[in-house]
Amino acid sequence: MQKKCGYVAIIGRPNVGKSTLLNHLLGQKISITSRKPQTTRHRLLGIKTTEKAQIVYVDTPGIHQRRHNAMNRYLNRAATGSLVGVDVVVWLLEALQWTDEDKHILSMLQQQACPIILGVNKIDKLQQKDLLLPYLSEMAEKRPFHSIMPISALRAENLTGLETDIIGLLPENIPLFSEEQVTDRSERFLAAEIVREKLVRRLGEELPYRLTVQIEHFEEKPHLTHISAVIWVERDSQKGIVIGKQGKMLKTIGETARKDLETMLDQKVYLQLWVKVKQGWCDNDRSLKQLGYLDEK
């Protein structure tokens, strides 16, 4: 029996809940999350196969208007490029919010031919619930949407309704991936992202945007996986912050990352972390490519 199958891009400005939504729709964590904007840096596929459909969700970096360095430009290219060839777009807004970046995304979507579902997220945080209905009416005036869905990605509220809407819009097609596959990314890639998530969550406001993680060694044995990772920063002073007093910060990050890696790999993990300096990597296109930030067609 032929299933519904297609690509669904999840887009929105930074920190609106795209990765949290993807993880809850899949029922497992493949995309890292934090309260800080621009945690997601790469396009990532999340694949959900049910009896009726195979939905290929495309998680994207937040679309923003800052283009002052190579990393910002890369993030925007990754996000806008993910709109090409998809069957459905889910555009996430934060309930009762309307920003310049939201306005910018609206103008981008004027050229989008496929159906667009507007997901109004974070309804669990609303203090004045009576303001939601007028807000939804206001958003409905912005452009024709297939549907407008108030949701809470964090609390998994109304996600069944959202997924039902999505499946209804997908074309009939044979599955593109095997039933067991949940993402297009390797365990090596996911390991680097897990380490970066712990760094983003533990460190101050600015430093997470000036660091990245590169896996140098990944070896799976029958009962133990050996992983060595380099945390790249831009300055010696940043290296000291990541390591922390007497190495305590790096040790804490390593311990929390190791626990998540053991859950993901379902076995013991030996994790080594090193901190190194590569000056100006964040604003150098060649350095970005060397560190795995590749434009994906």
Query: Quick one: pLDDT at residue 87?
Result: 96
Query: Quick one: pLDDT at residue 2?
Result: 65
Residue 203 CB-density burial (10 A; 0-12 exposed, 13-18 middle, 19+ buried): buried
pLDDT digits (tens, 9 = 90+) for 247-278: 999 999 999 999 999 999 999 999 999 999 99
Percent of the chain whose pLDDT exceeds 90: 70
- Locate the domains of the chain by residue range: 3-173, 187-290
- b vs e for 137-163, b when ≥16 Cβ sit within 10 Å of the residue's Cβ? eebeeeeebbebbbbbbbebbbbeebb
Are 145 and 162 a contacting pair, CB within 8 Å?
no
Residue for token digits 């958003």?
A: 139
Among 41-50, 59-68, 156-165, 205-214, the least confident range: 59-68
- For residue 17, pLDDT over 90 is answered with yes
Are 184 and 176 a contacting pair, CB within 8 Å?
no
CA 61 – CA 131 distance, rounded (Å): 29
The closest alpha carbon to 11, from 39, 54, 43, belongs to 43
Q: Determine the distance from the C-alpha atom of residue 294 to the mean position of all C-alpha atoms in its chain, rounded to a whole number.
A: 16
Q: How confident is the model at residue 1 (pLDDT cuts 50, 70, 90)?
A: low
Q: How confident is the model at residue 92 (pLDDT cuts 50, 70, 90)?
A: very high
Beta bridge partners of 10: 59, 90
Segment 208-222 shows an average pLDDT of 91
| CA-to-CA separations, 281 to 123, 221, 225, 277, in angstroms, rounded | 38, 33, 29, 9
- For residue 171, pLDDT over 90 is answered with yes
CATH superfamily placement of domain 3-173: P-loop containing nucleotide triphosphate hydrolases (3.40.50.300)
* Count, residues in the chain: 297
CATH number of 187-290, picked from 3.30.300.20, 3.90.79.10, 3.40.50.1110, 3.40.50.1820 = 3.30.300.20
Query: Quick one: pLDDT at residue 69?
Result: 77
Segment 191-203 shows an average pLDDT of 93
Query: Quick one: pLDDT at residue 102?
Result: 95
